[in-house]
Chain A
Amino acid sequence: MIEFRMPSLGADMEDGVFVEWRVETGARVERGQVVCVVETQKGAIEVEIWDAGTIARLIAEPGQRIPVGQAMAIVAEEGEDRQAVAAAGVAAPPAPPAAPAAPPSPTATPAAAGATVVSTPPVARPAVAAGLPPRASPAARRRAAELDVDLDALAIATAGAPISVADVERAAAAPPAPVSPRAAPAAAPSGPVATPAAGPGPEEAMRAAIAAAMSRSKREIPHYYLGSEIDVEAAHQWLERYNAARPLAGRVLFAALALRAVALALHEVPDLNGQFADGRFRRSNAIHVGVVTSLRGGGVVVPAVHDADRLALPELMASLRDVLARARSGRLRSSDLADSTITVTNLGDLGVETVYGVIYPPQVALVGLGRVLARPVVRDGAIVAARTMTATLSGDHRVTDGLTGARFLSALRERLALPEAS
């Protein structure tokens, strides 16, 4: 039995409003298939499932606000009886928020789960709690009782990090989350979300999400900033030759070349690639580059180009094109948003010379790309015109020092000097 749960699409996400199912009970689902749509602060997101099986029971209903980690559907695995799994899901002892007795085990059989049928639908414990009470300090527990703060809900918000008194007091001071679902965005392609009700509109909600993530970044991350002017003349000339031989649809933008150069430079400086959680940095072997994408209606989303270091240039271009198109049409998937390991922001097209970026937590670095323009450079003692670009690195000083950042910019420069190697 598999519980299909509300995914976390970034550390700043606490819940999502369920919009619609794209599958029916009894349907067979494959790994990577989009099974539902969820409205988040980042817009309507198509949520994929990462286990194959048969839908045994759909729990989530349109309009419900569902915390990250809570079950939305029960899926029967290969060889399991769908009806039995669905019944087991219902019969499994519900986990009361305060003192969970025995949360449903993934391997529970109907017999083991017992036969008592309860009328309330089962509520899966959030993944962060893993069946145990939330990790909160003694003082936080007492304060939570005084202020009537739900520690289970807070455990989801803190992503499993121990809850302190300050967390509890912040939660108590924050306005209660609106119970009614937010209004659906007019352009949402995925169908209506219950009834529009009071609460922040989608743009306001996205603004709030950006505000929360960026405030956290500037509050927690001691940034350092490095900038370096990089000669990209050779890269552009190479790209022009490359594109000349290809049809329009197969052409590659400099942005893709730069993205690949960033990913390959991270091979040499892996300490900028990963996430900082629970007080320490976890380096990621995979390189998923988040690409800051401005939306026409205002705000930004940061979908990921996955495994950017392993894609050949045409594939990377296709992946970038695909994710940007879906971001702009409001059809991002959960996998687009969940797991970036570094972010690139390219404001050069807007005429910006130098980007001083704010790191997107829990990542530890952000690369900013400025305007590509022919500028005077000195080559062999003579001043010539060459296209250059200022690349910047915002680094998390808890994890790396300027030396690491300098190595990265140097590696990026070398990569862009050898575009054919990309």
Chain B
Amino acid sequence: MSAAVRTSYREALRAGLRDALARDERVFLMGEDVGRYGGTYAVSKGLLEEFGEARVRDTPLSESAFVGAGIGAAINGMRPIVEVMTVNFSLLALDQIVNNAATLRHMSGGQISVPVVIRMTTGGGRQLAAQHSHSLEVWYAHVPGLRVLAPATLADARGMLWTAVEDPDPTIVFEHAMLLGMEGELAADAGPVDIDRAAVRRAGTQLSLITYGGSLFKCLAAAESLARESIDAEVLDLRTLRPLDVDAIVATVAKTRRALVVDEGWKTCSLAAEIVATIVENAFYELDAPIARVCSAEVPIPYPKHLEDAALPSVAGIVDAAREVMRR
């Protein structure tokens, strides 16, 4: 293992993009403001200068058009990486993603592959109000034919992209807005990582906190707080939201017998609901207490800071819910 370097989630994403652009000439990046402006969240800053206009392309403000163009390019042998500003805006491209990208392998009897990677920001916490703050990962995780990723760590921000580019089928990558500025240590030789397995980020014995994306660090902080109360929580980072790593979910529940699912999506018909159902179907006899969920309040994410904080999962809320699960 080489030395670790200090970096941010944003820089790790950029390193992943640079790596993909350098590895394969068929890879190109396109989306709103990804070129001259450097990306709305400054993820692609400098890549236009480094790789040129043919490989880093600014697009008009039409999600349906540029996502569709990416799908077309993928069908024709390219390896496009399409950036959509937020998951909220991606709804304009749902037809392209759900009706074209996800179905064409099936409808062509396996003749057509759509190796497109569609990256988008997700989540609240930055006072961007109800049209820029939602967590709609589950909308995509519902659809057969898609692979859905939620990198939450620096290593995954750096390494998931190339593996996704290599996947012959369409992949949606959710980058949580609150993680972009997160800093930490990353191995200097960090590279591609698997996009199949969930990962235990903190081992524990009494309770499983099952989560993904922006809620991972809330869960880790909650686990530290719980440890001071002698509650030993395990934290499972799902990493891939479709297909779910059922084995890992069953393994952690079999170990701790108690589960709390933390999901920034709304509770009704959420990924959390899917995980609870998965546990009940596959690990019913392992359970020693009812499963609980911490999700966002069932409201459009509010703009005022105090209301937004109250609507999103919080460390204190996770700790409270965990205590409740331990009491049952």
**Known A-B contacts A164-B288, A164-B289, A165-B288; A139 and B257 likewise in contact (beta carbons under 8 Å):** yes
A407 interfacial by beta-carbon distance below 8 Å: no
A140 interfacial by beta-carbon distance below 8 Å: yes
**Known A-B contacts A137-B289, A139-B286; A165 and B257 likewise in contact (beta carbons under 8 Å):** yes
Contact of B327 with A137 in the complex, beta carbons under 8 Å: no
What residue of chain B has the Cβ atom nearest to residue A161's Cβ? Answer: B328
Give the residue of A139, A166, A279 whose beta carbon is less than 8 angstroms from that of B287.
A139
* Cβ < 8 Å to A, chain B residues 276-290: 284-289
Contact of A139 with B327 in the complex, beta carbons under 8 Å: no
Tell me the bound Cα distance from A165 to B284 in angstroms: 14
A162 interfacial by beta-carbon distance below 8 Å: yes
Q: What residues of chain A lie closer than 8 Å to B286, measured between beta carbons? A: 138-139
Tell me the bound Cα distance from A142 to B286 in angstroms: 8
Tell me the bound Cα distance from A165 to B288 in angstroms: 6
Contact of A138 with B285 in the complex, beta carbons under 8 Å: yes
- Give residues in B with beta carbon < 8 Å to A: 257, 284-289, 327-328
What residue of chain B has the Cβ atom nearest to residue A165's Cβ? Answer: B288
What residue of chain B has the Cβ atom nearest to residue A168's Cβ? Answer: B288
Q: What residues of chain B lie closer than 8 Å to A139, measured between beta carbons? A: 257, 285-288
Tell me the bound Cα distance from A72 to B249 in angstroms: 49
Min distance, Cβ A281 to any Cβ of chain B, angstroms = 13
Number of interface residues of A (CB under 8 A): 11
**Could you list 26 A-B pairs, sorted by A, with CB under 8 Å?**
A137-B257, A137-B287, A137-B288, A137-B289, A138-B284, A138-B285, A138-B286, A138-B287, A138-B288, A139-B257, A139-B285, A139-B286, A139-B287, A139-B288, A140-B288, A141-B285, A142-B285, A162-B289, A162-B328, A164-B288, A164-B289, A165-B257, A165-B288, A166-B288, A279-B327, A279-B328
* Cβ < 8 Å to B, chain A residues 107-152: 137-142
Q: What residues of chain A lie closer than 8 Å to B287, measured between beta carbons? A: 137-139
What residue of chain A has the Cβ atom nearest to residue B286's Cβ? Answer: A139
Given contacts A137-B289, A166-B288, 13 further A-B contacts (CB under 8 A): A138-B285, A138-B287, A138-B288, A139-B257, A139-B287, A142-B285, A162-B289, A162-B328, A164-B288, A164-B289, A165-B288, A279-B327, A279-B328
Q: What residues of chain A lie closer than 8 Å to B328, measured between beta carbons? A: 162, 279
Min distance, Cβ B67 to any Cβ of chain A, angstroms = 44
Tell me the bound Cα distance from A319 to B35 in angstroms: 89
Min distance, Cβ B273 to any Cβ of chain A, angstroms = 19
Min distance, Cβ A334 to any Cβ of chain B, angstroms = 31
Top 10 nearest A-B pairs (CB, nearest first) are: A139-B288, A137-B288, A138-B285, A142-B285, A138-B287, A165-B288, A279-B327, A139-B257, A164-B288, A138-B284
Q: What residues of chain B lie closer than 8 Å to A141, measured between beta carbons? A: 285
Min distance, Cβ B138 to any Cβ of chain A, angstroms = 27
What residue of chain B has the Cβ atom nearest to residue A142's Cβ? Answer: B285
Q: What residues of chain B lie closer than 8 Å to A137, measured between beta carbons? A: 257, 287-289
Min distance, Cβ A10 to any Cβ of chain B, angstroms = 22
Tell me the bound Cα distance from A140 to B289 in angstroms: 10
Q: A160-176 interface mask toward B, CB cutoff 8 Å, 1 = contact, 0 = none?
A: 00101110000000000
Which of A138, A162, A165 has the most CB atoms of chain B within a 10 A radius of its CB? A138
Q: A69-112 interface mask toward B, CB cutoff 8 Å, 1 = contact, 0 = none?
A: 00000000000000000000000000000000000000000000
Q: What residues of chain B lie closer than 8 Å to A279, measured between beta carbons? A: 327-328
Tell me the bound Cα distance from A138 to B254 in angstroms: 12
What residue of chain A has the Cβ atom nearest to residue B327's Cβ? Answer: A279
Min distance, Cβ B231 to any Cβ of chain A, angstroms = 14
Min distance, Cβ A118 to any Cβ of chain B, angstroms = 34
Min distance, Cβ A338 to any Cβ of chain B, angstroms = 26
Tell me the bound Cα distance from A165 to B289 in angstroms: 10
Tell me the bound Cα distance from A137 to B328 in angstroms: 10
Tell me the bound Cα distance from A141 to B284 in angstroms: 11
Q: What residues of chain A lie closer than 8 Å to B257, measured between beta carbons? A: 137, 139, 165
Tell me the bound Cα distance from A279 to B327 in angstroms: 7
Q: What residues of chain B lie closer than 8 Å to A162, measured between beta carbons? A: 289, 328
Min distance, Cβ B206 to any Cβ of chain A, angstroms = 10
Tell me the bound Cα distance from A142 to B285 in angstroms: 7
Tell me the bound Cα distance from A165 to B257 in angstroms: 9
Q: What residues of chain B lie closer than 8 Å to A166, measured between beta carbons? A: 288
Tell me the bound Cα distance from A138 to B288 in angstroms: 6
Min distance, Cβ A160 to any Cβ of chain B, angstroms = 14
What residue of chain B has the Cβ atom nearest to residue A280's Cβ? Answer: B327
Q: What residues of chain B lie closer than 8 Å to A142, measured between beta carbons? A: 285
Tell me the bound Cα distance from A164 to B286 in angstroms: 11
Tell me the bound Cα distance from A140 to B288 in angstroms: 6
Tell me the bound Cα distance from A138 to B286 in angstroms: 7
Tell me the bound Cα distance from A164 to B285 in angstroms: 12
Min distance, Cβ A161 to any Cβ of chain B, angstroms = 9
